[in-house]
Structure 1
Amino acid sequence: MDIFPEPVLRVLREAPAQVVFVQGERTVSAGELLALAGRVMEGLRDGGIGAGSGVAVVTGLSAEAYAVHLAVHALGCRVGAFRPGWSPRQTGYGLGFGVEAIVVDGGDVSVRVGPGVPEVAADPGVPVFSLGPRVGAVDLLAGAGGGELVARGDPEAVARLTFTSGSTGMPKACAQTYRAFTMAYRVERWPEPLVALMAAFDRCLIHQSLASPVMMTYLGRCLIAGGTVVFPADGDPEPLLPYALERHAITAVMMPPPRLHRMLALLRERPADLSALRALLLGGSPAGPGLLAEAMRTLGPIVWQGYGQAETGVISMLTPQHLAAEDDAFTSVGRPLPAVEVSVRRDGAEVEPGEVGEIWVRSPHMMTGYWDEPERTAEVLRDGWLHTRDLGRLGPTGLLHLTGRSRDVIMVNAEVCHAGAVELVLAGHPSVSEVYVVGAPDEETGEAFHAFVVPAPAQVIDRPSLLTLVRASLSLAHLPRSITILDRIPLTIAGKPDKSAMTLLIGSPTAADQQGPKT
């Protein structure tokens, strides 16, 4: 098999004049990208970096940044992409994962990297390479280049460390082999839904760091499909505004559900011509049925949703065809991909179809384990299966429905309760567009739920009716102690609901004006 980055390199070689990147007024051709990657590779190799070396990449979005990923993977390195916005403590933690070299932006653009950069660049024990001049770093773009890019990765060696969001503490590093990493780029193995999705990637917007496995993967897939990648220009504060999508004639974009909610709200205030947009892929957290329905009405049959984890890669895909043809699709995350096996278990045994249990998966692109953390690995990997720690069920037509997270368990008066169950009930109310539920200590019941909801368009949230709905579906212990109405759900830098930020709102006047009864 052609090991990554060979599938991308082959396409670049075949059409060197093809424009592959657009960023503001700048365009970069396939041939120019290959030349950049060649210079980066030569510079790293001259610095003693080669197969098996651990390389941390801490860069913004640019052609040079993607050239780094092509180069380090061509050398067969183990690559860890750090997320922009990491705290100095998280950055220091990431440097402990066998890092032997760091690649950062040039000094004149380092502001795009985030607060971790000074700590990274100042680390005396690890050589620093930069994309342009930078004090204390080797400039990878200063050399003549000319080296031939040949994929040298060992299929069984670790290609990439994908870091979890770290929402429950320090991020974990999910190790993925070159064989598994390459699966995403093998066109002959793409399932039918992915082939249909990629047909829309003529002009794809990549707006988040390549530390995101979704952004990294779909950038490469876009190039393989013959498309052009659009990066936000320097100083562009909000690339996901509908007017930015209109201006750049974007045909495909990825975003979390809260960003979609904001985009639809803006479109109600000021329409934009999004006729070029043919695919909008949701990820990060499941979208509620109300949000999916509004998106379909406003944008047409272009809404997709992927469900997966850093540990597993993509597990299932919800397609526009599912939403158009199947009644229960709006409460699902689609069908598992053909290469992914899903097992729903309770107490270690597989449950009957339709019953709720813990979701286990087995797939060719999941991680081999958490890097250098055998005890944590043993908690989730058993006999080739990975425990997602999500709860769900398989519907009669094979659609996968999530019902909660086994980690989001709270004890209310000694009763085991799941936040996901409350979210599922509240999301079904017609006045609710988005909902997120957290647990917090409670002096009377031990713990209690607190709900955060975003209203659907032209809807007014009636808290008593939401409490009545929960009580009609779940036990008294599941009643939220408070319901906070928000314009939008706060997000982490990884694009997921920010549980910590919402927890800080508990007890605020907006949260306390309608409380559920004490149980």
Structure 2
Amino acid sequence: MPSDPSAEAPDPGAVWPQAVLDLLTAAGNRTVFEHGERHVSGTQMSSLIRRIAAGLGHAGVRPGDGLVPALGVDPEAFAAVLAAFAVGARVVACRPDQLDDVLAQADATVLDRSRLTALLTTPDDGEPLRAAGRPRDAARVIYTSGSTGRPKGCVQTYAALTAAWAAHPDRWPPAIRDLATRLDRYLVFGSLTSQVMLEYGVLSLAAGGTLVAADPPGYPAAITRHRGTAGVITVGRLHQLVRDQRSNPADLSTLRALMVSGSPLDPGRLRTALDVLGPVIFHGYGQTETGMIAMLTPAEMLADPDTLTTVGRPPAAVRLSLRDGELYVRTPAQACGYWNDPAETADVFTDGWVRTRDLATLDPHGRLHLVGRARDVIFVHAELVHAGAVERALAAHPGVAEAYVIGAPDDDTGEAVHAFVVPSPGARPDPAELRALVPGSGSPATVTLIDRVPLTAAGKPDKSRLRPPPTPTGTPARAPGR
């Protein structure tokens, strides 16, 4: 496991998730989790956590042991995640389609529904639960969405999670303080091990709010059905919601906050979203490796239209360094490396800084502008797709001599993958067959056959001159710009 760059261990007994356990105890009879007709109070949730934690202890789970929760979204799932942290386990977060790869490399066992049911038979002794995590141990390993390559496990230690701001109102930066007032009914879906689901969920609890299971998920229906006040949304789904509200408006009168991140958001589209949905958009910028780096609030956007081209001001606790235009950051809860991947760790984590591989500038007002990427990646529904991995998969086809991949804005997915293929002599590969070579989000939205790729003055491939067709096509096309 990579070493933790954090300076000092927290006070004994204060390690993550002790602050969350204390929040739930303080909540008493207040509803903290709503699932359909079920309303689970802080007292009831605390009891669930104690029972599961005791069951894990009886089953031999000790600090440092790896657990992969595969549980969905309900009160027991939330309790299980917190119980796993409480006993000091290494909680491994991944998508279902990554599970086989993750289990092969993560030294962890699956905590599924049947095992959880057995754990819940453990009696509750009623004694206050004290977090047992060791500060420098890995607390969470989040497998990044390298959807066309081997998933990478991003490691956060117990010290890092303890330093996070969500459960501690005295640490909230201004943008988060504004957001916290809107989290009365925070919609949760997907997985409660997700970084954004858990982080904003804890923030909601600290602000006195309730986690509401969006079952089934999907906007605007989940907002209207559950009277949701806040939720997370990708850029592509934000565009869809705006279109839906223009053509067939739903009653979104309860909505007060949509946290948007994961893909570039065009300033014009951001302005339109504010016009259609109202002052509810929080535009966040961060990475799995860093957590939140900056956030732009609705009030800032409405007060100064120039802010729409930025991602806001980083809070005081976030340090920035621009090195030849590339952004490096230090955040209180940043990761310390990748699980069992020293080469990639050395490339991204250096002397306590995280290399974002994003190009950025700071304006005179301290606002952060993202101006490009130092890495060739595409974000599809907030999942990171490496262009090189897609190109290698396509180039392995016998009918392909060369393959080039670019990303372009997409109303449905935030960004989409577009492939340009130079066929082998005498070949005419089927675009549908090529798309099938790349599973999941990395599968190209379009495959265009070209006779040769544009070149720079230095004779290198110039992907910046490739442009996706307006509609999917499999007919040969001359390279754009020629």
The residue type paired with residue 144 of structure 1 is P
Measured in 2, the distance between the counterparts of 1:477 and 1:97 equals 34
The residue type paired with residue 74 of structure 2 is S
| 1:360 matches 2:346 | no
Please, which of 217, 225, 230 is the counterpart of residue 212 of structure 2? 230
Please, which of 222, 245, 256 is the counterpart of residue 278 of structure 1? 256
Q: Which residue of 1 aligns with 2:434?
A: none
SS of 2:270's equivalent in the other structure is helix
Measured in 1, the distance between the counterparts of 2:247 and 2:30 equals 38
Q: Which residue of 1 aligns with 2:365?
A: 397
SS of 2:112's equivalent in the other structure is strand
1:178-232, Cα deviation, whole Å (9 max, x unpaired): 1211213222111111011011000110122123200111111111211011102
The residue type paired with residue 274 of structure 2 is M
Measured in 1, the distance between the counterparts of 2:419 and 2:54 equals 53
| 1:5 matches 2:17 | yes
TM-score normalised according to structure 1 size:
0.73
| 1:265 matches 2:233 | no
SS of 1:268's equivalent in the other structure is helix
Q: Which residue of 2 aligns with 1:489?
A: none
Q: For 1:90-489, list aligned pairs within 5 A.
A: 90-106=98-114, 130-132=115-117, 139-146=118-125, 148-182=128-162, 183-184=164-165, 185-233=167-215, 236=216, 239-346=217-324, 357-408=325-376, 436=415, 438=417, 440-443=419-422, 478-484=464-470
Which deviates the most, 242-251 or 366-375? 242-251
Query: Any conservation in 2 of the 1:361–1:386 contact (CA below 8 Å)?
Result: yes
| 1:21 matches 2:43 | no
More relative contact order, 1 or 2 (CA 8 Å, 6+ apart): 2
CA RMSD of aligned residues (A): 2.7
Measured in 1, the distance between the counterparts of 2:221 and 2:206 equals 27
SS of 2:360's equivalent in the other structure is strand
The residue type paired with residue 398 of structure 1 is G
TM-score normalised according to structure 2 size:
0.78
Which deviates the most, 219-228 or 394-403? 394-403
SS of 2:361's equivalent in the other structure is strand
Measured in 2, the distance between the counterparts of 1:199 and 1:394 equals 28
The residue type paired with residue 364 of structure 1 is P
The residue type paired with residue 189 of structure 1 is R
The residue type paired with residue 33 of structure 1 is M
The residue type paired with residue 132 of structure 2 is R
How far is the alpha carbon of 1:269 from its aligned partner? 2.2
How far is the alpha carbon of 1:51 from its aligned partner? 1.5
Query: Any conservation in 2 of the 1:482–1:516 contact (CA below 8 Å)?
Result: no
1:130-150, Cα deviation, whole Å (9 max, x unpaired): 222xxxxxx111222325421
The residue type paired with residue 151 of structure 2 is P
How far is the alpha carbon of 1:73 from its aligned partner? 1.1
Pair 4,259 (structure 1): closer, same or farther in 2 beyond 3 Å: same
Measured in 1, the distance between the counterparts of 2:474 and 2:316 equals 47
Measured in 1, the distance between the counterparts of 2:318 and 2:87 equals 29
Measured in 2, the distance between the counterparts of 1:434 and 1:58 equals 25
Pair 388,242 (structure 1): closer, same or farther in 2 beyond 3 Å: same
Pair 210,508 (structure 1): closer, same or farther in 2 beyond 3 Å: farther
Measured in 1, the distance between the counterparts of 2:22 and 2:79 equals 14
SS of 2:343's equivalent in the other structure is helix
Identity level (%): 40
1:414-466, Cα deviation, whole Å (9 max, x unpaired): xxx9968xx6xx89xxxx8986365645439xxxxxxxxxxxxxxxxxxxxxx
How far is the alpha carbon of 1:21 from its aligned partner? 1.2
The residue type paired with residue 178 of structure 1 is Y
Q: Number of aligned pairs? A: 406
Pair 327,396 (structure 1): closer, same or farther in 2 beyond 3 Å: farther
The residue type paired with residue 330 of structure 2 is R
Measured in 2, the distance between the counterparts of 1:219 and 1:97 equals 29
